[in-house]
Amino acid sequence: MAFDTIITNGRVVTATDTYVGDIAIREGKIVAIGQGLPRDNAAKIIDAGGRHVFPGGIDVHTHLDMPFGGTTSSDDFETGTRAAAFGGTTTLIDFAIQYKGQTLRTALDGWLRKAESKAVSDYSFHCIITDLASAQLEEMNALVRDGVTSFKLFMAYPGVFMLDDATIFKALQASGKNGGLVCMHAENGGAIDVIVQQALAEGKKAPKYHALTRPTTAEAEATARAIALAEMAGAPVYIVHLSCDDALEKVREARDRGLPVYAETCPQYLYLSIENFDVPGFDGAKYVFTPPLREKWHQERLWNGLKRDHLQVVSTDHCPFCFKEQKELGRDDFTKIPNGGPGIEHRLSLIYSGGVAAGRFSVNRFVELVSTTPAKLFGLYPRKGTIAVGSDADLVIFDSGRKHIISATNHHMRVDYSMFEGVEVTGMPETVLSRGRVIVDGNKFLGRPGSGEFLRRSTYAQP
């Protein structure tokens, strides 16, 4: 059997196993794993001795080329997937937004066009629903049949994205039947809006008030309500970007009762805190995203949640806006600052560093959090999310000893600042393959826009 590529002598790491071996690739798939595989009939040999080999990272929460607040997130599907690749992430699930009155299909087609000729690695979409009449309820079934098997609903942003409980409940009932998975933005948008308006009336307009007007209780309340609605509907639910211990407690309680409730957190909630707003002038706008940064003590609770499987996934909620001209739209009023931060590139290094290198959890748990569980929950497993015969050869050769200082001066995202400026990480991707093609080799990018494929996903199955 002739191989296109063999990766030799790497320390192969999956969610369950760690061993030294060779991985052989043909036509984009892993076709053999073993020790001492025959080198002579391989077109290309990559020596991974002394390094880890991980399945490619899967980031299930990104916003590329997304209109928000009169501007558009600064990474498109080319620059975003490229930056992701430099960080070891080879699959994204982004969001197709249905605006009021539109069909869900219109939303999906719009986002497919944005990605098609640009993505350098594989991608899929959750469908954001902002308007759910009976026609769109029917359409949810059709989308699931077409491989778009997850939906995102908002309990925040009244008048823009927010849905009422009855509508959310109907969507959950539909997903309980059609095998879809509802992803929930859980914050009590009604109460938050009252607090925001009161702050503005008192002249509190600086960036830090974005955080001070969105209490952790608002997130915990909505998380509990989302869980209750899902339980009544007989559906699973996935809480996105969980940021605080109060909400984590609600998820933990539900999981202890055996409910199919899942949650992700993001590196910004593990590494940053409300103290980041203590910067001169308008610089705090760099940390305006939703849910907001919390008091520092929440960080260790979230790390512990990742360790103990109260949290199952780390995504980024990558939604970059440049400081100049974009974040600056809110110079006089924090409610006009585009919400979002850049993070797509550094997820693996930050979680490896704080999780594995810092001794909080095993390298297998790391792989589970950044690749395997995302693949399982969102219908991509075992094509993605593991290293196995028959799986796509999305692979990351990772130098676990390499230190790197994150900075806007060396990152690949199309944005003029870094949320993690100056943070030193231990562990960096060295070589990254997408379906058997080397797309990142050290500092060199070898991928090609348009080579990423849209992934049709399976229905939800309890992992």
Using the rule CB under 5 A, give the single segment among 22-30, 225-233, 278-286, 313-321 that binds Zn ion: 313-321
CB of 374 to Zn ion, least distance (A): 15
Closer residue to Zn ion (CB): 122 or 317:
317
CB of 63 to Zn ion, least distance (A): 6
CB of 312 to Zn ion, least distance (A): 17
Residues 419/284, Cβ–Cβ less than 8 Å: no
CB of 61 to Zn ion, least distance (A): 6
Closer residue to Zn ion (CB): 246 or 317:
317
Q: Which x/- pattern over 263-302 shows residues binding Zn ion (rule: CB under 5 A)?
A: ----------------------------------------
CB of 95 to Zn ion, least distance (A): 7
CB of 152 to Zn ion, least distance (A): 8
User: Total binding residues for Zn ion by CB under 5 A?
Assistant: 1
By residue count, the chain amounts to: 463
Q: Is 70 exposed, middle or buried (0-12, 13-18, 19+ CB in 10 A)?
A: exposed
Closer residue to Zn ion (CB): 317 or 368:
317
CB of 342 to Zn ion, least distance (A): 13
Closer residue to Zn ion (CB): 269 or 398:
269
Closer residue to Zn ion (CB): 344 or 351:
344
Closer residue to Zn ion (CB): 154 or 209:
154
Q: Does 453 bind Zn ion (CB under 5 A)?
A: no
What residues between 315 and 334 interact with Zn ion by CB under 5 A? 317
Closer residue to Zn ion (CB): 243 or 353:
243
Using the rule CB under 5 A, give the single segment among 244-252, 267-275, 299-307, 314-322 that binds Zn ion: 314-322
Phi, psi torsion values for 306, nearest 5 degrees: -65, -40
Q: Nearest residue by C-beta to Zn ion?
A: 317
Using the rule CB under 5 A, give the single segment among 98-106, 312-320, 406-414, 427-435 that binds Zn ion: 312-320
**Site of interaction with Zn ion (CB under 5 A):** 317
